[in-house]
Amino acid sequence: MKFSLKLVLSIIVIMACILSCSRFFIIRQSFRHSIEKSANQNSNQNIVQRYYIESNIVNNIQRGEEITNENVIEYIKSLYSYLGDNSEKIALYDEKENIIFSNFEKMKDMNINTLLLKEVDNYYIRNVEDRYYMLFSSYLTINNNVIYIINIYDITYLYEERDSQMKEVLFVDFIILSIASIFIVIFSAILTRHIKKLNITSKRIAEGEYSNRVNIKSKDEIGELANSFNIMSVEIEDKINSLNLSLKQKDDFINGFTHEIKTPMTAIIGYSDMLRLKKCDEELTKTALNYIYSEAKRLETLSYKLMNLMSLSENNIELEYIDIDNFINKVSSKITTLGNVTIKNSLTPAKVKGDKNLLEVVIRNLVENAKKSEPKDNLVLIMRRNYGGKKI
């Protein structure tokens, strides 16, 4: 899953949780407030009704009338007839939980055991057939008999109002989240575009395009990351170029050294083969052995130089002043692969600072390369030329 999508989903989930929890808390508190308000109103009404009933009973007692359950029922009927409210229901029970009177047909479906107590100002909520009722319990003592009065109020409208609010809130939250999601997707794309650039550039560098850089101008953490990324890219490119150059130099050195080994090996093999196959006079034998010895020594010297150049030996290459005219003449006389090509030296006497063995390798390569180009009159001329005001 892409980072931008994770960012969008995370923000949407967080918003949904915050909105849901906050709205649920508000609706819950509002619903509780409505229940308490309704309970206070119904409690006050219940007190007034009980007071009315008790007043009538006290008046009848003072007149000497006999108070029976039938009289109480008549008082209650007259009370509700006077109030004219058919929505309020009432039920009367005796101490043995036997019903005396009820104008509520669903009273049998309610659990009233907790209601028949000698306590006042308590209410209970019951759910019967998807309707909610608030029940208040009070009692009267008539002729040493206790009569429980249970007032029943339909408060289904409060639950319907709560459910309606929940539906409206869910719809509004859905609209809010939908609109917010669009903006979040846009902002996420804007915020992560630099990360995409970094990703694309890193892939290109991984594919070998080391000169790629990210052009991100920002003062935040992503800008710092992009700057660090570019610095790292420069370092990687420099390292790769250095490694490639080192590898090329190594290949060139190996090829050159291989060529240098072939030259003395050719002379050694040629002269040793001549001595092996045919009888030679003493002078020719001595000349051949001298060539074999000198070329073998040169080969040995080259191997030591190779070790020095490859840092396999702690000996440093020591430079010395060399008489270039005499040195070139000696080197020319040692070259045995020229055939009928003549070397002519037109250099003026001079001294140069260098390594004799390596300088000999250079002169041999130049002379042999000149021979390969088939020089005119079979003459290889070693002379001094002027380059840019400098004599070489």
pLDDT band per the 50, 70, 90 thresholds, residue 317: low
Query: Is the separation of the CB atoms in 218 and 190 below 8 Å?
Result: no
pLDDT band per the 50, 70, 90 thresholds, residue 314: very low
Instruction: Return the structure tokens found at 137.
Output: 């319990």
Neighbours of 111 (CB within 10 A): 9
Q: Give the residue with greater pLDDT, 167 vs 60.
A: 167
Q: Give the residue with greater pLDDT, 310 vs 113.
A: 113
On whether the pTM is more than 0.75, the answer is no
Alpha-carbon distance values, 244 to 43, 222, 237, 285, 336 (Å): 95, 32, 10, 49, 37
Helix, coil or strand: residue 131? strand
Quote the percentage of the chain above a pLDDT of 70: 79
231 pLDDT above the threshold of 70:
yes
Q: Where are the beta strands (DSSP E) in 48-206?
A: 89-93, 99-102, 123-128, 131-142, 145-154
Q: Residues 207-219: what's their mean pLDDT?
A: 77
Distance, in Å, from the CA atom of 53 to the CA atom of 16, rounded to the nearest integer, reads: 54
Q: Residue 342: enclosing H or E segment and its boundaries? A: strand 342-345
Q: What is the pLDDT of residues 241-260, one digit of tens each?
A: 888 887 887 777 777 777 77
Neighbours of 137 (CB within 10 A): 23
Of 162, 136, 111, nearest to 42 by C-alpha is: 136
Query: Is the separation of the CB atoms in 29 and 104 below 8 Å?
Result: no
